A and B are shown apart, each in its own frame.
Chain A
Amino acid sequence: MKFVQNIFDQTRPLVEKDGKRNIFYPLHNAIETMAFVPNHTAKSGAHVRDAIDLKRTMVTVIFAMVPALLFGMWNIGRLHYGAFNMESTLIENFLFGAMKMLPLITVTYAAGLGVEIFFAWKRNHAVNEGFLVSGLLIPMIMPVDIPLWMVAVSTVFAVLIGKEVFGGTGMNLLNPALTARAFAFFAYPTWMSGDQVWINTKGEEGAQLVDGYSGATAMGDLATTVGQGLDNPATNAVMAEFGSEGTYSLLNAFLGLIPGSIGETSALLILLGGLFLIFKGVGSWRIMLSFFVGGLVMAGIFNAFAVNEFMALNPIHQLMLGGFMFGMVFMATDPVSAAQTETGKYIYGFLAGFFGIMIRVFNPAYPEGIMLAILFMNVMAPLIDHYVVEANIKRRAKRLANA
């Protein structure tokens, strides 16, 4: 690999401090450190170091997301061909999805990394790896038909306002990927909700949509039952879809054979990614576990005091739908925007899951309660940490008083 190293060595003078192309230094450095782990040695303190670095941590998260991502691509194609009642093979489904997904991913990375590199140059530091994960999370939580420019604008907003204004990676208050989604949700509501955007129904010349086609998500359908009371004949058709034979059956929801944001549908593969993260020690099991319990408790309470079909839904089924699983495994666990103390993580996770289900059911205008709940808990996390830290301080003060 000497020749690759030579290329970096030869171009480095151009981008260094006094070089003509200094603006490219962060990019040069980012690519070089990606290709070669640098030859830096320990200068102070411990003389040996763990092989782990932020790149490894981030790439581990990406590996965990791959199954859900591949499934999402396949599901795009499956739903598309299904809407026209066309036969399609696994490969065709997957290729169709890939054609939709790859531009989304490319645009997100280009927009986000552009902003990151600019700030790295301005602030004179290396490009941080945080966006490697954010850049893949953002397309996975978008509807398939969202225009690319909206994704780009949302990404730029998220990186700029969600992250860089606070000082960059490690300093941000909000999860950047969810900030992007929240921005898109409020700025372009017609592209982010309803029954038109979750399944691609364009591009097939002359094809007819199947009879009774609905592009709604489970969340959208459930929201229509609010205010109708229990056992209302008007909602029976909707609720039949949640029965064992329906589109949104527990099994379908668990496997992910339902419409939704691209990467969020398959609870099974997301859980697989979550187990991988926990096993690798990269994702916090404290947050995931307490998030799940929080959601289950809220859904259980609703179930016990149900006044409409949405509330009456089986709690486990409730958790398999929408962004709950994805939020639990990939969003709430972002170490920077979550609570940072180990005790705080239990409280943070529990409340995020709890509020997520609460918002989703109480305010059907926001079927994506999970997103809002996690962002809300991001803001509350420093407060939780504050009380955990205060408890530690009080313990110490008490010891001093007793001494």
Chain B
Amino acid sequence: MSQSFKIRKGHNIKLVGEAPNKDLGNITTTTYAVSPLDFPGITPKLAVKAGEKVQAGDVLFFDKDRPEVKICSPVSGEVAEVKRGAKRKILQVVVLADSTITYADHVPFDLKSGDRAAAADHFANTGVGALITSRPYGVVAAMSEEPRDIFVNGIQSGPLAGDLAYQLEGKEVEIAAAIEALALMTTGKVYVSQDAELPAIAALKHAKATAISFSGKHPKGLVGTQIAQVAPMSKGEIVWTVNAIDLPVIGRAFLKGEYAPEYKVVVAGSRIINAGYATMLQGVSLTNFLGAHANADNARFIAGDVLTGTQIDATGFLSFGKSQITAIPEGNQTEFFGWVLPGFGKFSTNRAFWAWLFPNRKYDLDTNLHGEERAFVVTGEYDKFIPMDILPQQLLRSILIGDIEKMEQLGIYEVVPEDFALAEVACTSKLPLQEIVRNGLNDLRKEMI
């Protein structure tokens, strides 16, 4: 019997450019890149030099403070270049891929007899440990931590999110292995969530997992929402989170010993000409693909969804941990007296614009802020989008003034930036809420280590 919850607070942002369940084929290129910036909470230390040969699953770089956090190459080939920015900060490690991928020599893992220590080593060495996020702080998990519980998120409810059942098709064996592997890592429970409004995905049911289901509005698909409903976190507790879409990659690493971060990526948005699903490896160069499938004229490309995704170039690479590509128009144009017009066609989460008359309309939203940044004025606005027992505005204020004690008291351990994404969209004062929360978590983490 699965526990089910209904999420009443929140909002579903309906965008045009939804992807039909259409296979756009297998996308391969000669260059792949992994960026340390995609891994929150790590200080990268290179394990390779330009010109070195690597195999898929060989370590490219690791975390200076927690060396067991290893980031591996998605392909075999030659390290072409290490791109650096200001102060020699590592921006990208670029790998020129072989035509046939060979895998680093990790042996398959025996899930029947393996113990936690062995599983932890396997997670770390094969690179799939980086797919696990650790809360609080929302950083890449270190395998030495002992999480209270592990939450596997099987709900994709963000704008233009992919159909998870379609994306996981044919991966049943790997998924089962991944859940078993995760079960070894905690003495608590492995929760696997599913969307109660969609047909259940049979592969996500497992004897070692506790099934939970959610209905209602986004952010039901944010694992933070799910944790808050099922078993809220307290100070000192660690919870790991994994996206269900990453399970096949983890499963393959355990069953075959291969690191192959391959995803059926959903490609959607109003600037995508040919929406659908394309199979690709993490870090793939998107130049050719987006050139053929998108209208790049004044467009913004996002790895992930419009709420929490990372902006990428049309000539960029698929960011780590993302299985969605969204393209929307840039909103870099002014609007004459836009704030005073009735706004029948304007997207808004409240009724100040007359578009509320058409609740089911799909919008072609651009990136315009629709205003300038202001101080906090309106109150009670964020509460409508964060289904947790926290006081969002008070928490944000405590972060802004750097009051660590207050942050702890007000529940910063229960949140990560993405939990504030919807509130950020709705914010009248146009404040960068996710950035504020990220800074708060970073400050707190510095204080704690």
Contacts and interface: CB of A to CB of B under 8 A. Distances in A.
A281 B354 CA distance: 12
A389 B410 contact: yes
A48 B367 contact: yes
A42 B431 CA distance: 10
B372 A126 contact: yes
B341 to A, nearest CB: 10
Contact of A130 (B236, B377, B383): B377
A335 B377 contact: yes
B205 interface: no
A90 to B, nearest CB: 28
A249 interface: no
Interface in A34-74: 34-57, 59-60
A359 B349 CA distance: 40
A39 B331 contact: yes
Given A45-B434, A54-B377, A392-B390, A40 B372 contact: yes
A341 B369 CA distance: 26
B351 A280 contact: yes
B393 A47 contact: no
Contacts of B352: 52, 56-57, 60, 280-282
A341 B391 contact: yes
Contacts of A37: 334-335, 337-339, 368, 370-371
B395 to A, nearest CB: 10
A342 B426 CA distance: 17
A21 interface: no
A51 B331 contact: no
A284 B380 contact: yes
Given A52-B352, A54-B429, A393-B410, A169 B337 contact: no
Interface of A: 1, 4-5, 33-57, 59-60, 126, 128-130, 168-171, 279-282, 284, 335-336, 338, 340-342, 345, 385, 388-389, 392-393, 395-397, 399-400, 403
B366 interface: yes
Contact of B367 (A38, A42, A388, A400): A42
Interface stretch (B33-41, B169-177, B247-255, B301-309): B301-309
Contact of B308 (A46, A169, A281, A340): A46
Residue among A40, A59, A128, A340 facing the most chain B CB atoms (10 A cut-off): A40
B389 A395 contact: yes
Nearest to B369: A40
Interface stretch (B43-51, B71-79, B194-202, B417-425): B417-425
A382 to B, nearest CB: 11
Contacts of A284: 379-380
A388 B311 CA distance: 39
Contacts, number: 218
Contacts of B86: none
A47 B311 contact: yes
B372 to A, nearest CB: 6
Contact of A52 (B308, B370, B417, B434): B370
B308 A59 contact: no
B234 A50 contact: no
Nearest to A29: B372
B66 interface: no
Contacts of B371: 37-38, 52-56
Given A48-B13, A340-B393, A399-B234, A35 B336 contact: yes
Interface string B137-172: 000000000000000000000010000000000000
A276 to B, nearest CB: 10
A4 B343 CA distance: 22
A90 B431 CA distance: 47
A399 to B, nearest CB: 6
A400 B235 contact: yes
A53 B339 contact: yes
B353 interface: yes
A46 B307 contact: yes
A41 B434 contact: no
A56 B353 contact: yes
B112 interface: no
6 A-B pairs with least C-beta separation: A53-B371, A170-B375, A45-B434, A37-B338, A51-B346, A36-B334
Given A47-B306, A393-B410, A403 B348 contact: no
Nearest to A279: B351
A35 B340 CA distance: 10
18 contacts: A34-B339, A41-B331, A41-B366, A41-B367, A44-B432, A44-B435, A45-B421, A46-B421, A50-B347, A54-B374, A54-B377, A56-B371, A59-B340, A168-B375, A284-B379, A341-B394, A396-B389, A400-B235
A386 to B, nearest CB: 10
Given A42-B367, A47-B311, 20 more contacts: A36-B336, A36-B338, A37-B335, A40-B372, A41-B367, A43-B432, A46-B308, A48-B365, A50-B425, A50-B427, A50-B428, A51-B355, A53-B339, A55-B339, A128-B375, A170-B429, A279-B351, A280-B350, A341-B380, A388-B391
Contacts of A342: 380, 383
B330 A53 contact: no
B328 interface: yes
B375 to A, nearest CB: 3
A53 B372 contact: yes
A107 B245 CA distance: 63
B332 interface: yes
B335 A48 contact: no
